[in-house]
């Protein structure tokens, strides 16, 4: 056996062992440990391996089974008609392959003159619950069973009779001798949330998700517990005796799936109203794309779309494989969780020195985007995951936005693989890392660490702080590497010639950036305070503190000498007070404030006392803005004027001091001329502002 064949054989063994363990946990022990998306991914990998090398197939392969073994807690019953599972497709390409294969199979059995080019299709939502087989005799419900292994299931009739949406008798005047109905039991989302809230109150373990909760509920030995969970049910399939003929006042015997759904509704069953009929495959994809987004607005969970060939005659012609009907397929929604292989552990150093471990793994598609990195938050999280090199890990998009590592499939771990942990030294500067007492954060305390400098500057120039447009990560990195800036204060010593010498910077973009840096000097005090990046000082806290302490010197004095005055501020507690004390007590930080002041930043809010009327021509003047200015937005210009003691009005009047006119001006320009209002452009405004 070659090395490659040996690895494939070992991988197939690992997959069989893990999938069989998952089946046993779900169907026998009633304690599932693996999400459907993860199971499907591993199951598909095993199918692909067995297709490439058929000699890998063994009698215990889960690909040869319809389902797991039934639970021992209930009586086993044989289904009158096997309750098959469905094959899955995971993208439109696989869906097209399924459809073309069906056309080929049908046309091979027909004469050339009878060949067909289109198949009618019914699309139904794939409800995320538990499949049930309902047996009616002479119109009455006599048995309800779980899927089990597809041939035998568990008799859970007493439990199913508590589900109000399942009729105990058919709403038919002349019911057939027997009727078999297939459908999906489920727990509505709000009901599931209520159940978990009650369990939380009783300090009981929370249920993992609605589907597992539904499966567990149906296996409860006490029907009263089942009734309290308020399960619901959608019927989706119907089987009738071949020899049954309806009377004249009965509904016609259905010839296809669409008529079957109507028959079920007529008989008293709840049928999902979102099913749709299509003449061919061409319009199906828009339906699938619609429900990929819209499913989040439903009151119950779905995990895909089921496509069925409509005509029963064609269904019979296509038949079944060993475990699934050929005439139906489930297109699963993109996995919100998926397994992948961990490649390495990287570390990021933030502006406060906190070192964050990051998992780098083989790229996977989640919620429509490719991801290859996920944060591990801190040393505690890293330790709890017990990550080893080349582990198989499960990735999820938290809120369908931020990738995170959910868990490790340790069953697939290679022997003697290396356990991963945070380094002892900073990956950026080599300084010894310090772990905080609570063990959550690990920090680099070297204030000259390039990562800390880079992070602090990025925070200072961000939109919520000083909003210096054009100063991004790459440019800041260049400036630090060339030792052109060492802190946020050194930004204000840059000139256009220095900026122009950097990679991909021209004269125009360099001058624009210098103008943006100069403009930032007049940002309000709360933005400057937030931009300093003091631990625990967010935008809201910065605004609150700046209002009570309108200058940096007053806040510094309170932080160092009267911390109780800070704690008296609404919304400010011990943690923030201590953080302010630590920051303002640091000599290097005081030096930074001094340098910022020398660079022209106010470090205070506008008050009558703080404006030197001899140094600004804007004080007490009223401005009106019109048109588009070359470098300033309307909001930036307004903020600059107000910070210099001026007032901005939205309309022209005799009290208007200046009209600031840009490009594409409107009626305000003509009115200003009529009233004799002084009209200036952006450059003249900047002179008034002393920029």
pLDDT tens figures, 276-332: 999 888 888 889 889 988 988 899 988 889 999 999 999 998 988 767 899 999 998
Q: Give pLDDT tens digits for 561-580.
A: 999 999 888 778 888 999 99
Distance CA 403, CA 336 (A): 10
Q: 484: burial class by Cβ within 10 Å (0-12, 13-18, 19+)?
A: middle
Residue 73: pLDDT band with limits 50, 70, 90: low
Can you read off the two tokens belonging to residue 138? 């002479």
Task: Return the HEC string of 525-555.
Answer: HHHHHHHCCCCCCCHHHHHHHHHHCCEHHHH
CB atoms within 10 A of CB 455: 20
What SS3 class is residue 345? strand
- Identify the bridge partners of residue 402 per DSSP, sorted by sequence position: 398
Q: What is the 8-class DSSP label of residue 404?
A: E
pLDDT at residue 609 tops 90: no
Which has the closest alpha carbon to 605: 647, 547, 691, 518? 547
pLDDT tens-digit readout, 188-225 = 999 988 888 887 777 667 776 788 889 888 988 888 88
Q: For the packed helices 92-109 and 284-294, what is the interaxial angle rounded to 10 degrees? A: 140
CA distance 636 to 638: 5
Residue 63's beta-bridge partner residues?
none
pLDDT at 611 over 50: no
pLDDT at site 654:
87
Residue 366 — left, alpha, or beta (φ > 0 → left; ψ -120 to 50 → alpha)?
beta
φ/ψ of 195, rounded to 5, equals -60, -45
- Taking residues 353-376, report their average pLDDT: 87
- CATH, domain range 450-598: 1.10.150.20
* SS3 assignment for 180-234: EEEEEEECCHHHHHHHHHHHHHCCCCCCCCHHHHHHHHHCCCCHHHHHHHCCEEE
Q: What is the pTM of this model?
A: 0.51
CA torsion, ordered 40, 46, 49, 51, to nearest 10 deg: -80
Check whether domain 3-64 has CATH 2.40.50.140, yes or no: no
Specify the DSSP class assigned to residue 367: T
Instruction: Considering only residues 323 and 433, tell me which one the structure prediction assigns the higher pLDDT.
Output: 433
Residue with tokens 């048995």: 143
Q: How far is CA 572 from the centre of its chain?
A: 32
| 631, 515 contact by CB (below 8 A) | yes
Question: Which residues carry out catalysis?
Answer: 126
Q: Is the pLDDT of residue 134 over 90?
A: yes
Residue 608 has a pLDDT of 44
pLDDT at 208: 67
User: Residue 70 corresponds to which tokens in the numbers above?
Assistant: 């039934």
Instruction: Tell me what pLDDT residue 29 has.
Output: 57
Name the pLDDT band for 691 (thresholds 50, 70, 90).
low
Top-level class of domain 88-109+116-332 = alpha beta
The more confidently predicted of residues 68 and 103 is 103
CATH architecture type of domain 622-688: 3-Layer(aba) Sandwich (3.40)
Residue 306: predicted pLDDT: 96
Structure tokens at 391: 């582990």
- Which pLDDT score is estimated for 372? 93
Per residue in 489-548, pLDDT tens? Answer: 999 999 999 999 888 888 888 999 998 999 898 888 999 999 999 988 988 789 889 989
Identify the CATH class of 337-435: mainly beta
Section 117-143 average pLDDT:
93
Q: Where are the domains of the chain?
A: 3-64, 88-109+116-332, 337-435, 450-598, 622-688
Give the pLDDT of residue 614.
41
| Predicted pLDDT at 26 | 66
Burial of 680 (0-12, 13-18, 19+ CB in 10 A): middle
Is the per-residue pLDDT at 606 higher than 80?
no
């Amino acid at each position: 056996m070659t090395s490659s064949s040996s690895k494939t054989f070992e991988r197939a063994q690992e997959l069989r062992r893990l999938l069989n363990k998952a089946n046993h946990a779900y169907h026998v022990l009633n304690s599932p440990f693996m999400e459907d998306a993860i199971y499907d991914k591993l199951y598909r990998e095993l199918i692909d391996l067995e297709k490439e090398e058929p000699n890998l197939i063994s009698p215990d392969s889960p690909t040869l089974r319809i389902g797991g073994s039934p639970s021992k807690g209930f009586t086993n019953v044989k289904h009158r008609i096997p309750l098959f599972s469905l094959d899955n497709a995971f993208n439109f390409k696989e869906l097209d392959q399924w459809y073309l294969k069906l056309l080929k199979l049908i046309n091979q059995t027909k004469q050339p003159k009878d060949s067909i080019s289109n198949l009618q299709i019914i699309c139904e939502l794939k409800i995320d619950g538990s499949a049930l087989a309902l047996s009616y005799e002479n119109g009455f419900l006599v048995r309800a069973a779980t899927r089990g292994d597809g041939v035998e299931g568990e008799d859970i009739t007493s439990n199913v009779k508590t589900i109000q949406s399942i009729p105990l008798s058919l709403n038919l005047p002349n019911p057939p001798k027997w009727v078999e109905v297939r459908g999906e039991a489920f727990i509505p989302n709000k009901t599931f949330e209520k159940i978990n809230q009650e369990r939380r109150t009783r300090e009981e373990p929370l249920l993992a998700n609605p589907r597992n909760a539904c499966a567990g509920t149906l296996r409860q030995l006490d029907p009263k517990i089942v009734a309290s969970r308020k399960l619901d049910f959608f019927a989706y399939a119907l089987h009738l005796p071949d020899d049954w003929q309806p009377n004249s006042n009965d509904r016609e015997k259905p010839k296809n799936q669409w008529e079957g759904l109507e028959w079920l509704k007529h008989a008293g069953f709840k049928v999902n109203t979102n099913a749709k009929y299509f003449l061919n495959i061409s319009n199906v994809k828009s339906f699938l794309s619609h429900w990929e987004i819209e499913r989040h607005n439903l009151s119950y969970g779905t995990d895909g779309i089921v496509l069925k060939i409509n005509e029963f005659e064609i269904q019979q012609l296509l038949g079944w494989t060993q475990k699934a009907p050929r005439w139906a397929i489930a297109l699963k929604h993109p996995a919100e969780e998926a397994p992948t292989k961990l490649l390495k552990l990287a570390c990021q150093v933030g502006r406060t020195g906190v070192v964050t471990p990051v998992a780098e793994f083989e790229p996977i598609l989640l919620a429509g985007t490719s991801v290859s990195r996920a944060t591990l938050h801190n040393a505690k999280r890293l330790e709890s995951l017990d990550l080893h090199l080349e582990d198989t890990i499960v990735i999820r998009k938290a809120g369908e936005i931020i990738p995170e590592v959910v868990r490790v499939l340790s069953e697939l771990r290679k022997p003697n693989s290396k356990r991963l942990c945070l380094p002892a030294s900073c990956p950026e500067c080599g300084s010894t890392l310090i772990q905080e007492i609570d063990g959550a954060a690990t920090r680099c305390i070297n204030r000259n660490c390039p990562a800390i400098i880079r992070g602090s500057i990025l925070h200072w120039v961000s939109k919520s702080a000083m909003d210096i447009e054009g100063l991004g990560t790459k440019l800041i990195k260049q400036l630090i590497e060339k030792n052109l800036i060492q802190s946020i204060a050194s930004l204000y010593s840059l000139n256009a010639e220095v900026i122009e010498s950097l990679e991909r910077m021209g004269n125009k973009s360099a001058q624009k950036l210098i103008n943006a840096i100069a403009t930032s000097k007049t940002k309000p005090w709360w933005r400057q305070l937030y931009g300093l990046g003091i631990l625990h000082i967010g935008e809201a806290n910065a605004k609150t503190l700046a209002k009570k302490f309108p200058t940096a010197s007053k806040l510094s004095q309170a932080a160092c000498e009267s911390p109780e005055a800070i704690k008296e501020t609404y919304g400010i507690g011990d943690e923030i007070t201590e953080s302010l004390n630590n920051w303002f007590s640091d000599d290097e930080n005081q030096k930074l404030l001094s340098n910022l002041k020398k660079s022209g930043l106010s470090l205070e809010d506008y008050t009558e006392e703080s404006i030197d009327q001899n140094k600004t021509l804007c004080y007490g003047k009223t401005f009106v803005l019109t048109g588009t200015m070359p470098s300033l937005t309307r909001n930036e210009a307004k903020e600059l004027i107000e910070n210099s003691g001026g007032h901005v009005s939205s309309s022209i009047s005799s009290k208007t001091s200046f009209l600031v006119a840009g490009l594409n001006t409107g009626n305000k320009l003509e009115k200003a001329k009529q009233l004799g209002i002084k009209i200036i452009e952006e450059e003249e405004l900047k002179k008034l502002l002393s920029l």
